[in-house]
Amino acid sequence: MNTFLIIVNIVILLALIFGLYSLQKKHVKFSVRVLIGLGLGLLFGIILNVIYGTSSEVVSTSIQWFNIVGSGYTRLLQMVVMPLVLISIIAAFTKIKLSKNIGKISFFGIGILLVTTGIAAIIGVATTLGFGLDGVQLEAGEAETARIEQLEERVTTVEKLTIPDQILSFIPTNPFADLTGARSTSTIAVVIFAALIGLAFLGVRRKQPEQAEQFANIIDTLYTITMRVVTIIIRLTPYGILAIMTRAAATTNYEAIVNLGQFVIASYVALIAMFLVHLLLISLAKLNPITYVKKGLPVLTFAFTSRSSASSLPLNIKTQTDGYGVSQGVANFVGPFSVTIGQNGCAGIYPAMLAVMVAPTVGINPLDPGFLLTLILVVMIGSFGVAGVGGGATFASLIVLSVMNLPITIVALLISVEPLIDMGRTALNVSGGMTSGILTSKITGELDEKTYNDKTDLHDAIEA
């Protein structure tokens, strides 16, 4: 009987996928199909949750089959992340897009990421105080107790990780290992490796222009092919989001969300407030924030459902260059850095909220100016090296709470609502990276505002 129900669920998902494909054939806008996929996945997942429950064998087995579409799509994006980072950065040098502005791009790109993370921390503090959130009221069940034991083992490693150690971890000792994503800082390591190759190319071009020209042609060909691979994968976005959202909705513990509803609401109020800050910054740069939202919706939707900033990177870079008119050099530098540095949601809002919630339990006044200033600085510095995958917020929180000498158990007590909040945090992380790319390109004079203001749906264009 269970096998029959599982087959029925698979058939329904296939029917929904066929429905989305039919919309594509009818030339329905890409962004609209992404939202339809999100809505259908949410509805289908909730129905499965209501009928079978989260612990049902029917649901778990059905999800395993759904993952062929959802996780398969995510893996395809992860597959192309490192080749994209390596080739696109080198290509930026061969096309002479970085040689004059590399210092400015690095300064403003990373600087904007860190400043916005500091602003995010302030918003997190204000929201926590405004909602009167208190860590004392949280209780530990079996899952939370098990999680506490895991965190106590992990925090030992975090406490030994100094800021100089984090900076050293960015430098690759084996770039080929980093191309496999072996470390949490592999993306930045590949960026550094690619930048060194680019700088070497500039030197060779001065002394041996013929060899440099041959190398540039090879890189240009590889870049064209890599971006074509990205384009092919991006076309699968509506189907991937459908399956991912179905899994998320079907496996969510809604009772736990109700119990921790105030924290969930406060978290999303903070996330929305920080997103509005992004739109304000876009407006101050004399760019239309509505255009920013419309063109960024597909990548933000994927980030929301996948909970992975790293997996969103190909979509992120493609949206910046083809949608917003950000130069390749800026997008290919700021994009990878935003995966592990200055994540507004995971490394900004979340650790700040937890620190303020838990401070009274050890006799610290969360309104003390010294405590707040220290917290904001620690959050900004601690944002270096946060992995752009699920779990990055936990790592960032452990760093902040450990440095501030605050209890880490609160991280485990929120495990039941962690996935739901992490969806919003990841979308905000990606928005922060794109905002930094746009502003940096604007400041350095490399933003193509004609492309930014173009009404054409960039994702519809890639399907032509």
Please report which confidence band the pLDDT of residue 62 belongs to, taking 50, 70 and 90 as the band edges. very high
Assign domain 2-462 one CATH number from 1.10.3860.10, 3.40.50.720, 3.50.50.60, 1.10.760.10: 1.10.3860.10
Every domain of the chain and the residues it spans = 2-462
Q: For 397-411, what is each residue's pLDDT tens digit?
A: 877 888 888 887 776
Q: For 149-183, what is each residue's pLDDT tens digit?
A: 555 555 555 555 566 776 777 788 888 888 887 77
Look at residue 144 in the predicted model and tell me its pLDDT.
47
Please report which confidence band the pLDDT of residue 58 belongs to, taking 50, 70 and 90 as the band edges. very high
Assess whether pLDDT exceeds 80 at residue 235. yes
Look at residue 157 in the predicted model and tell me its pLDDT.
54
Please report which confidence band the pLDDT of residue 82 belongs to, taking 50, 70 and 90 as the band edges. confident
Assess whether pLDDT exceeds 70 at residue 289. yes
Q: For 270-281, what is each residue's pLDDT tens digit?
A: 999 999 999 999
Q: Is the C-alpha dihedral spanning 363, 348, 173, 178 positive or negative? A: positive
Mean pLDDT of 93-114: 79
Q: For 301-328, what is each residue's pLDDT tens digit?
A: 989 988 888 788 888 988 999 899 998 8
Percent of the chain whose predicted confidence (pLDDT) is above 70: 87
Q: For 118-141, what is each residue's pLDDT tens digit?
A: 999 999 999 999 998 876 555 544
pTM of the model: 0.83
Look at residue 375 in the predicted model and tell me its pLDDT.
93
Q: For 339-371, what is each residue's pLDDT tens digit?
A: 878 889 888 999 999 999 988 888 888 889 999
3-state DSSP of the chain: CHHHHHHHHHHHHHHHHHHHHHHHHCCCCHHHHHHHHHHHHHHHHHHHHHHHCCCCHHHHHHHHHHHHHHHHHHHHHHHHHHHHHHHHHHHHHHCCCCCCCHHHHHHHHHHHHHHHHHHHHHHHHHHHHHHCCCHHHCCCCHHHHHHHHHHHHHHHHHHHCCHHHHHHHCCCCCHHHHCCCCCCCHHHHHHHHHHHHHHHHHHHHHHCHHHHHHHHHHHHHHHHHHHHHHHHHHCCHHHHHHHHHHHHHHHCCHHHHHHCHHHHHHHHHHHHHHHHHHHHHHHHCCCCHHHHHHHHHHHHHHHHHHCCCCCCHHHHHHHHHHHCCCCHHHHHHHHHHHHHCCCHHHHHHHHHHHHHHHHHHHCCCCCCHHHHHHHHHHHHHHCCCCCCCCCHHHHHHHHHHHHCCCCCHHHHHCHHHHHHHHHHHHHHHHHHHHHHHHHHHHHCCCCCHHHHHCCCCHHHHHCC
How does the average pLDDT of the chain come out, rounded?
84
Other Cβ atoms closer than 10 A to 112: 23
**Which one has a higher pLDDT value, 260 or 156?**
260
Please report which confidence band the pLDDT of residue 390 belongs to, taking 50, 70 and 90 as the band edges. low
Please report which confidence band the pLDDT of residue 206 belongs to, taking 50, 70 and 90 as the band edges. confident
Look at residue 459 in the predicted model and tell me its pLDDT.
53
